[in-house]
Structure 1
Amino acid sequence: MNLIYKVLLLLALCICNAESTDPSGEFCNRNTNTSRNSQMSANIDRLLSELVSKTASNGFIATSFGKGKDTVFGLAQCRGDVSSTDCSSCIQDAANQIRKRCPNQADARLWYEYFFLRYNNKSFNGEVDTSFSIVYFNVNNVTDPENFNKELGALMDEIRARAIEPKNEGLGKGVTKLSPFVTLYALVQCTRDLSQIDCAQCLAIAVANFETFCENRKGCRVLYSSCHVRYELYPFFFPLGSNNTMADTLVAIVHP
């Protein structure tokens, strides 16, 4: 199903942690109502139970539960730099939250700082899904846009190449010095059900949002169901640096 929704969120330096109960974003497809299908609803609960029990062991699982038209397909993935303990904590919280936020939907998705969870009554395994997006960006601009964008482009090319290497399982991250006092941090990740070429495609689409929504911004994050990309002028992935202390006000605008 092609979705026409896009959410644009404006962010002024907000750092979350793995214990947070507030997701970064959610999607509940109101066209997939399960209120009259108790079997599918039960299958979603059984699916979530399996995702909770099996995700933390290697940070990823894609599976299904049920038979025939009542089958539900699910995927859970932690960010590749997160510990198994934090991964386990986040999947448990996400499994509880997704049923509260999307109680009667067979197509639901929940993004956290360190984790992504989705299920659907239609199979999506191995398919690039960029039909729904969430974009965060810092409201402040960089002081040297020309140099910043050059360095950002080079760093993104580098870590996108890393992400599609099989050994990295869809994760790429890196840093580059912009000056003696300013460091650029960036991370990209695909869901591990994607092929190398599909991962590259998803990341290219996500990075293209930088120019549209985040041009000259100090930070930006683009979330899709199949991949996500992010850059900041402070450390946000593990291992964290000692100066990860920035926090500010969150401003949000929603565009249906």
Structure 2
Amino acid sequence: MFLCRGDINRTSCSNCIHAATLSVAETCNSHKGASIFYDECIVQYSNVSFFTLVEDAPAIRRYSPSSYLGSSDFFNQTLPGKIYELILRAFSSSLSSPIPYFAEDREHVTQLEGSYDLEALVQCSPDLDPRNCTECLRLAVEDFFECCSHARLAQIIFPKCLVMYNVSALQPSLGVING
């Protein structure tokens, strides 16, 4: 099975799958199953059927070591609100979208301390049913907020789903000077 991120083109997807497949063949050829996670794709194989299942596998965590120095409102309200909005959109896109179980958004956010651009995406493997997709993303979000608190960018990747966000550098608000 392979899964490419919904925001990349076919050529990039094909190149990623090719590289991941070669890597799996070189490093895991004696194993009965393996998953390899690249930035743009996931390749997985097993001698046991894993389709339609949310697997109990450890997450791959990638996040920036530098902290985002904005307000706590961002991590307490803005970011969770955006992620949960995308999960609902991914769930509802399962039947109508050319890329099922995928949702992304880019938004310019202005708060008291300044403004920033927020990019976020969520995605599930299309072999999952809506309930299992939601469950996988829920597990990813739990892991996300436990491991990557206050990171400027983060990715949580499970074999069947992923959650990502990236926050641009904070641009201070310009104050109004009365003169």
Residues 155, 176 of structure 1: 8 Å contact kept: no
Question: Counterpart of 2:148 in structure 1: which amino acid?
Answer: C
Kindly indicate whether residue 98 of structure 2 is the aligned counterpart of residue 170 of structure 1.
no
Q: 2:87 aligns with which of 160, 182, 191?
A: 160
Describe the superposition over 1:41-62 as per-residue Cα deviations: whole angstroms up to 9, x where unpaired. Answer: xxxxxxxxxxxxxxxxxxxxxx
Q: For residue 211 of structure 1, what is the aligned residue in structure 2?
A: 145
Q: Is the aligned partner of 1:127 residue 2:127?
A: no
Give yes or no for contact 1:77–1:115 (8 Å, CA) kept in 2. Answer: yes
What is the deviation of 1:108?
0.8
Match of residue 171 from structure 2: none
Cα distance in 2 for partners of 1:77, 1:213 equals 24
Letter in 2 for 1:95: T
For structure 1, the residue ranges without an aligned partner over 5 or more in a row are 1-74, 235-256
Change over 3 Å in CA distance of 1:171–1:103 after alignment to 2: same
Instruction: Say whether 1:198 aligns with 2:132.
Output: yes
AA matched with 1:214: C
What is the alpha-carbon distance in structure 1 between the residues aligned to residue 64 and residue 56 of structure 2? 22
Alpha-carbon separation, structure 2, partners of 1:178 and 1:214: 20
Residues 2-17 of structure 1 mapped to structure 2, 5 A cutoff: none
Structure-1 residue corresponding to 2:176: none
SS at 1:141's partner residue?
coil
Q: Pairwise mapping of residues 52-201 of structure 1 onto structure 2 (< 5 A)? A: 75-149=1-75, 150-165=77-92, 166=94, 167-168=96-97, 169-179=100-110, 181-201=115-135
Structure 1 runs of 4+ with >4 Å offset = none
- The separation in 2 between residues aligned to 1:217 and 1:145, in whole angstroms, is 13
- Mapped to 1, the partners of 2:129 and 2:101 lie a distance apart of 9
User: How far apart, in 2, do the equivalents of 1:142 and 1:224 lie?
Assistant: 24
User: 1: CA distance between counterparts of 2:167 and 2:70?
Assistant: 13
Q: Which amino acid aligns with 2:101?
A: G
Residue pair 1:141, 1:217 contacting (<8 A) in 2 also: yes
Gapped regions of structure 2 (runs ≥ 5): 169-179
Letter in 1 for 2:104: K
Alpha-carbon offset, residue 178 of structure 1 = 2.7
What is the aligned length?
160
Q: Which amino acid aligns with 2:29?
A: P
- Identity value in percent: 26
Q: Report what 1:230 is aligned to.
A: 164
Q: What secondary structure, in the 3-state scheme, does the structure 1 residue paired with 2:68 have?
A: coil
What is the TM-score of this pair, normalised by structure 2? 0.84
Q: CA deviation at 1:146?
A: 1.6
